[in-house]
Structure 1
Amino acid sequence: MNVVLVEDHIIVRQGLKVLLETKAQVKVVGEANNGREAIELVQKLAPDVVIMDISMPELNGLEATKRILELCPKTKILILSMHQEKSYIKQAFQAGVMGYILKDAVYGEIRLALESLRQGKTFLGPSISQLILDSFVLKKGREDTSLDYLERLTPREREVLQLFAEKNTRQDIADALFISPKTVDRHRENIKLKLELSDEASFTRLLNLINSAGNSPPS
């Protein structure tokens, strides 16, 4: 997989490059300090993926994303940002990105994000997926105020739920979270129990709802 890194902080960019090339079997074919440089590089190199920051001088990552996808529609964009506000997430997906993770992401999360994009799937980091779950909980709460879904799930259970929604296998999830497949199964059963999902059909409906929200983040 050929990747272009777009990040105005050189130390962050260099660290990410080392991580990707040594552990993720990714070839970093270009680096840019801002959105304008990114557009030029993508036109020249046609990478598989662009890992893009949002806040940068001259041209921000969201505007650069729109232009890149106009010029190179086959290139996939993964946002790596400090911003976790819903407004940024919504704008990013409206611009056409396929993934959004935060800069404090662990290696396994970055690797899984790149693999998801390679397969043509959307990827959301755990903190981002929690926002989507929050929206689901609020909607569900209006229908049944006796249930507080959010407090029933631990942060790790939310991670597992989101990864299942993105159609990852139990082995994929185990690898990404550095746990065993049996532990993934246990989290799955705990989620179903806490959310009062009595059968696989109910669990699947929830996964489809979360996945749909991921493709069109809430405002």
Structure 2
Amino acid sequence: MKIVIADGHRLVREATVCLLRSTVPGIIVESAGTGAQAVNQYADHMPDVLITELLLPDYSGLELCKRVRQRWSKASVVFLSSIDDVGMVKQALGLGAQGYISKNCRPAELATAIKKAAEGEVYLEHDLATQLAMVQLGSHGLVSSTSSRLADMTQREVEILILIARGVSSQSVAERLNISVKTVANHLSILKSKLEISSTLELLHFAVESGLVRYGLKGSDNTAFLS
């Protein structure tokens, strides 16, 4: 079985590679630190499964999933993320992901998720599967308001929110996502209306509260800054 792992944190990435090599017999694992590197690794190795974090240094795991599946429609993508939010699970599954598990999962569960995805089955961590079922049954009262708001956002809106909250300029966002600056502005306007937010600062606060970005030192991956 061949695997490609995309994670912006080298320690996490290399630890996951070592874990899989020790727990899954005969596995071949390649790694990537960015979404762009992951696409290239996929093209070079044509793995059975692509594992990705939601937050990557260049663009999100959602965008990576979208790009890979646009080029290789049968690609199996599993999210191994620090964000265990039902809204993000819905976003990932909507893009065709085969699985979503949190970084708090047991090693055996990661191996199971990979094997299921390689066989074409969908695998969700138990707690996330339960929350998703509640949402689908209309039990919104049992899910946080933040999760509900994230679930109502489109993949592109989530992508732009993450980048803007990281402090990326609208021009750079447009270049990374291959869209126009005007399109970025339109998405931001719609996003603020959906979230009932009036300023970019409030967008940043929402992104941090939802776990999409974290406050940190400038230059670190997946962090948000006030400039």
What TM bracket, shorter-length normalisation? 0.5 to 0.7
Q: Which range moves more in the overlay, 67-76 or 130-139? A: 130-139
Q: Counterpart of 1:116 in structure 2: which amino acid?
A: K
Shift of 1:93: 0.9
Shift of 1:26: 5.1
Q: Which has the higher helix share?
A: 1
| SS, match of residue 56 in structure 1 | coil
Moved over 6 A (4+): none
Could you say which structure has the larger radius of gyration?
Answer: 1
Distance 2:80 2:15 in 1: 13
- Please tell me whether residue 60 in structure 1 is matched to residue 60 in structure 2: yes
| SS, match of residue 4 in structure 2 | strand
The size of the alignment, in residue pairs, is 141
Shift of 1:56: 1.1
Identity in percent: 26
Shift of 1:17: 0.7
- State how 1:111-122 maps to structure 2 within 5 Å: 111-122=111-122
Question: Which residue of the partner structure matches residue 155 of structure 2?
Answer: none
Contact 2:17–2:31, Cα closer than 8 Å, also in 1: no
| SS, match of residue 4 in structure 1 | strand
Question: Which residue of the partner structure matches residue 190 of structure 1?
Answer: none
- Please tell me whether residue 89 in structure 1 is matched to residue 89 in structure 2: yes
Distance 1:118 1:75 in 2: 9
Question: Which residue of the partner structure matches residue 135 of structure 1?
Answer: 135
Question: Which residue of the partner structure matches residue 104 of structure 2?
Answer: 104
Structure 2 unmatched runs, 5+:
142-227
Question: Which residue of the partner structure matches residue 15 of structure 1?
Answer: 15
Question: Which residue of the partner structure matches residue 77 of structure 1?
Answer: 77
For residues 102-131 of structure 1, the C-alpha deviation after alignment (integer angstroms, 9 at most, x for no partner) is 011101211211121122110000221120
Structure 1 unmatched runs, 5+:
142-219
| SS, match of residue 105 in structure 1 | coil
Contact 1:3–1:26, Cα closer than 8 Å, also in 2: no
Q: Which range moves more in the overlay, 33-42 or 125-134? A: 125-134
Question: Which residue of the partner structure matches residue 217 of structure 1?
Answer: none
TM-score, length of structure 1 as denominator length: 0.60
Q: Counterpart of 1:38 in structure 2: which amino acid?
A: A
Shift of 1:57: 1.1
| SS, match of residue 3 in structure 2 | strand
Distance 1:67 1:137 in 2: 31
Q: Counterpart of 1:7 in structure 2: which amino acid?
A: D
Distance 1:60 1:88 in 2: 11
Contact 1:20–1:26, Cα closer than 8 Å, also in 2: no
Q: Counterpart of 1:67 in structure 2: which amino acid?
A: R
Distance change >3 Å, CA 76–CA 26, structure 1 → 2 = farther
| SS, match of residue 58 in structure 1 | coil
Contact 1:3–1:47, Cα closer than 8 Å, also in 2: yes
TM-score, length of structure 2 as denominator length: 0.58
Distance change >3 Å, CA 7–CA 130, structure 1 → 2 = same
Distance 1:33 1:108 in 2: 24
Shift of 1:82: 1.2
Q: CA RMSD in A?
A: 2.0
Q: Which range moves more in the overlay, 3-12 or 115-124? A: 115-124
Shift of 1:42: 0.7
Q: Counterpart of 1:33 in structure 2: which amino acid?
A: G
Contact 1:79–1:97, Cα closer than 8 Å, also in 2: yes
Question: Which residue of the partner structure matches residue 145 of structure 1?
Answer: none
Shift of 1:99: 0.3
